Chain A
Amino acid sequence: MSEPQRQAYRDGLTAVAPLLVGVAPFGLAFGVAAGQSSIGAGLGFATSQIIFAGAAQLAAVQLFDAGAAAAVIIATALVINARHLMYSAALAPHFREFPTVWRLMLPYVMTDQAFAVSITRYEAVSDPDYKRRFYLGAALGLWFTWQSTTGLGALAGASVPASWSLDFAIPLVFLALLIPAVTNRPGLVAAIVAGAIAVAGAEVPYNLGLMIGATSGIVAGVVAERLNP
């Protein structure tokens, strides 16, 4: 590898590094929760490689634990991951110039963080070779952090007694993600409607309350934006 190539990977890793500090506790918390859940540390950790999307993994483990139907777990996880469509659309004009193998492989490691640092850097550079290496450097930094912290957490979670209430780390992580995600008034309306309906629908069969609450919140957010742009 030539020096400029190495520099591009290093730039990506450097850009994502501060975000990794925030990802590490999520990874540990998820791993612990998965290790204590009914699906167990093995499958819990496997979701880190198979799904590789923190919020969806957390929601899936929570629903598995509640005994939800497979269709509900799949639908919920995929709604959470629908935001990748947005990232994919924004990255597509840049990725178009990459070799096909890269265009097929790079989406697997697409995350909120890799997207955010790459799309910001892409405004300043035009070299496609630099762009794909920068993205991969950032994305792999996140991938390895997620694998190591969720793996460690799963090992620890399997041996911690349930009386420590470590499962509470899941709502805490979601809470820490929720607050910065509410950036304007329609977002707040979406969150309140979704939360209220999910609370009211907690007894709805098949754990569908989460899905119904989330979809109502999305609709409420769109309506609020229309009424008060």
Chain B
Amino acid sequence: MNPWITVVIIGVGTYLSRLSFVGALGSRAMPVWAERPLKYVAPSVLAALVLPAVLLRDGALDVAPASNPRFLAALAAAVVVIRFKSVSWAIVVGMGSLWLLQWLV
């Protein structure tokens, strides 16, 4: 499929999820059974995106700094997020650590 069409479909679907209850006629509340899973969408999706990106190299588990410096660099960025709650510094420290490790090995 043309990637533009894929993006437009995502855009329409996203707009509809935003419109959902706001656009509904009458007063319709969110059913309780639906509320619970939605709370776990963010931690689940984000973890599923992050962990393979930093733990795997060429499809295999690899946390050795020499062959997969991304794991150690991500760990450094995680410490920055936890300690200083700063997104910008996490990116700076994460990228900086990666460059340093790539330069060292």
Known: A59-B49, A202-B52. A172 touches B44 (CB 8 A): no
Residue A53 at the chain B interface, CB threshold 8 Å: yes
User: Contacts of B52 on A, CB cut-off 8 Å?
Assistant: 195, 198-199, 202, 209-210
User: Contacts of B23 on A, CB cut-off 8 Å?
Assistant: 103-104, 107
- B interface residues, how many (CB within 8 angstroms): 67
Instruction: Please tell me if the beta carbons of B1 and A198 are within 8 angstroms of each other in the complex.
Output: no
User: Contacts of B13 on A, CB cut-off 8 Å?
Assistant: 74, 77-78, 81
Known: A172-B74, A202-B52, A222-B36. A178 touches B41 (CB 8 A): no
Instruction: Please tell me if the beta carbons of A110 and B56 are within 8 angstroms of each other in the complex.
Output: no
User: Contacts of A193 on B, CB cut-off 8 Å?
Assistant: 44
Residue B46 at the chain A interface, CB threshold 8 Å: yes
Determine how close the nearest CB of chain B comes to the CB of A170; give it in whole angstroms.
Answer: 7
User: Contacts of A164 on B, CB cut-off 8 Å?
Assistant: 99
Known: A70-B6, A74-B10. A196 touches B51 (CB 8 A): yes
Residue A47 at the chain B interface, CB threshold 8 Å: yes
Instruction: Please tell me if the beta carbons of A191 and B47 are within 8 angstroms of each other in the complex.
Output: yes
Bound-state CA distance A39–B13 (Å) is 20
Instruction: Please tell me if the beta carbons of A210 and B17 are within 8 angstroms of each other in the complex.
Output: no
- Which of A21, A89, A194 makes the CB contact (< 8 A) with B21? A89
Residue B104 at the chain A interface, CB threshold 8 Å: no
Nearest A residue to B44, CB-CB: A217
Residue A5 at the chain B interface, CB threshold 8 Å: no
Residues of B67-96 contacting chain A, CB below 8 A: 70, 73-74, 77-78, 81-82, 85, 87-88, 90-91, 94-95
- Which of A107, A186, A220 makes the CB contact (< 8 A) with B22? A107
Determine how close the nearest CB of chain B comes to the CB of A227; give it in whole angstroms.
Answer: 13
Bound-state CA distance A93–B26 (Å) is 10
Task: Supply 16 A–B pairs (Cβ within 8 Å), ascending by A.
Answer: A60-B7, A81-B17, A85-B38, A86-B35, A103-B22, A103-B23, A107-B23, A165-B98, A172-B94, A177-B42, A180-B85, A203-B59, A214-B41, A217-B48, A221-B40, A221-B44
Which residues of B does A touch, CB under 8 Å? 1, 3-11, 13-15, 17-24, 27-30, 34-56, 59, 61, 70, 73-74, 77-78, 81-82, 85, 87-88, 90-91, 94-95, 98-99, 102
